[in-house]
A = this chain, B = another copy of it.
């Protein structure tokens, strides 16, 4: 992968694979600051934690907030292997994330460019810049293989 932040997306894929190995849906997310340093990285842990909100993005946001001592992740970017769901899209907005990079689009569960399109409403206070389709093939393969094994 050769694009700005390709290392961050590679780490997000590492987190996605680790989540899959734990029996979680294989999605990973990484938050980097303006200098490119990783402030938070996580994979899904909804099953392990009995917590339906423990999506990769939420866990990464929470970790970065703890590092910064702030609920606002100013000038930070989020990389995630799948288009965020509506819950995570709204959380990304609340966190004031600067740029959102996602790999595979998610027509069934996404909330950024599909479904509720969280950032498209006038009541949305903060919209990150959104860049989709980065590393899409890898993300799609990872998810397809995961669900194929379980069906």
Contact = CB atoms under 8 A, between A and B. Distances in A.
Interface in A113-137: 114-118, 121, 123-124
Nearest to A111: B90
A79 B123 CA distance: 23
A20 interface: no
B52 A61 contact: yes
A53 B61 contact: yes
Contact of A47 (B49, B71, B86, B90): B71
A87 to B, nearest CB: 4
The 3 closest A-B pairs by CB, nearest first: A87-B90, A116-B116, A52-B94
18 contacts: A47-B71, A49-B65, A50-B69, A51-B61, A51-B65, A52-B95, A53-B61, A53-B62, A53-B94, A86-B87, A86-B89, A86-B90, A87-B87, A87-B88, A87-B90, A87-B94, A90-B116, A116-B121
